[in-house]
Amino acid sequence: MLSFRIAIAVVIAAALAGCDSEPGPQTRRVTPVVMGTTARLVAVGEEGQLDPALSAARAEIDDVNERLSTYNPDSELSRFNAGGENTPQLGWSTMDIIGTGQVLSEKTGGAFDVTVLPLVQLWSEAGKAGRLPTEAELAEVRQRVGYQRIPVTGPTPPDAAFYWDGPAIVMMARNRKGVPYVQITLDAIAKGYAVDEALAAVRRAGCSAGLVEIGGDLRCFGRKADGSAWRVGVESPWEEGKLLMTLSPPPAGDGELAVATSGNYRRFVTIDGVRYSHIIDPRTGRPADAVPSVTVIAPTAMAADGWATALSVLGVEKGLELIEHEPGVEALLVTGQPESPRLHFSSGFKRYVVEAD
């Protein structure tokens, strides 16, 4: 039996300013369905800026989806995954995102892994068939998984178009896949990346503030039209609509905040009455079910998205230990039961909390 629901674990808590008949900044928002989930795009600025800003933001999201979706067989990544050894090269921008994933893999000892796709598919098919994968199936698939299978080297050449702020570059670039059998999913960071790109488009359009949220991954900047700060609710993993707390950007900053939530309560398969998360521990080949919900604040939505998935695998102790060494990254892990939730915070998380229930 397959149960499948899309997560929207971060919701926007505060209502936006209402109808804009007064002079001053105006607000416009749209709530399209994109990347298989609901999104919220908000622009604040002068009347003439709003529609172009939202259209540009939407175009960025569609572009990311066309390149990175693993559900669309025609996406750049799906064509790469379907090909053999002589698969055409991936674009620089996609390489850059893979590189970000590789850095996260190294930091997390492989808890995060962009090559996990065959395991994701194995567990998804097992869910549809209503039976656990056999040890033989797991062993076979695990041979094709492992971020080390993508060769990396450094330092980055000065003329590289796929430069990123990390110690290594992905060498499968150039003109072919390079490594047979490797398949890549960027699903654990693509939504965050799309949020970053879409919000950058709102800024470029000259807006004074904006917010983009896709399926629980969110980033905002500036202040709402009424001058108040954006507020972001963190939802309980067990009860839709019930907020555990509300977050807000630090008062001293420019209103910038990026937040992502990963959880195994909205997306899972059920086999023999047991729920298995859609997040896989690549080190064991099995679903990571220890933490019902992880919320991460980071400098970008892509980083928040990636860390939220990684911490779901690492668990409370190891996850929080790692986060303490990451500048600008804070986390909240929710464990326990609906009637007795346990909240585990990194040392700086509470600076962002404005209310706790």
Q: In the complex, which residues of this chain contact Mg ion (CB under 5 A)?
A: 188, 262, 305, 308-309
* Cα–Cα distance, 96 to 219 (Å, whole number): 20
- Mark the segment that binds ligand AMP (CB under 6 A) among 27-35, 79-87, 129-137, 275-283: 275-283
Count Cα neighbours of 350 within 13 Å in the Cβ-side half-sphere: 5
Compute the least distance from the CB of residue 188 to Mg ion, in Å.
Answer: 4
Q: Which residues, numbered 93-112, are part of the site for ligand AMP (CB under 6 A)?
A: 112
Pick from 241, 252, 257: nearest CA to 329: 257
245 or 298, CB closer to Mg ion? 298
* Cα–Cα distance, 199 to 259 (Å, whole number): 13
The one-letter code for the residue type at 141 is: V
Residue 305 as a binder of ligand AMP (CB under 6 A): the answer is: yes
Residue selected from 41, 95, 120, 322 as contacting ligand AMP according to rule CB under 6 A: 120
Compute the least distance from the CB of residue 267 to ligand AMP, in Å.
Answer: 7
Residue selected from 75, 278, 330, 332 as contacting ligand AMP according to rule CB under 6 A: 278
Using DSSP bridges, classify how beta strands 232-235 and 257-263 pair: parallel, antiparallel or unpaired: unpaired
202 or 280, CB closer to ligand AMP? 280
Q: Which residues, numbered 338-357, are part of the site for ligand AMP (CB under 6 A)?
A: none
Compute the least distance from the CB of residue 20 to ligand AMP, in Å.
Answer: 34
* Cα–Cα distance, 137 to 148 (Å, whole number): 21
Going by C-beta distance under 8 Å and a sequence separation of 6 or more, which residues neighbour residue 278?
Answer: 120, 123, 124, 264, 267, 268, 269, 287
* Cα–Cα distance, 166 to 104 (Å, whole number): 10
Compute the least distance from the CB of residue 66 to ligand AMP, in Å.
Answer: 18
Q: Can you state the angle between helices 187-204 and 301-323, rounded to 10 degrees?
A: 130
116 or 303, CB closer to ligand AMP? 116
Compute the least distance from the CB of residue 10 to ligand AMP, in Å.
Answer: 12
Pick from ligand AMP, Mg ion, none: which does 100 bind, CB < 5 to 8 A by kind?
none
Radius of gyration of the chain (CA): 20
Q: Which residues, numbered 180-199, are part of the site for ligand AMP (CB under 6 A)?
A: 185, 187-188
Compute the least distance from the CB of residue 51 to Mg ion, in Å.
Answer: 30
Pick from 321, 328, 319, 322: nearest CA to 349: 328
For Mg ion, which residue has the nearest CB?
309
Residue selected from 35, 279, 332, 334 as contacting ligand AMP according to rule CB under 6 A: 279
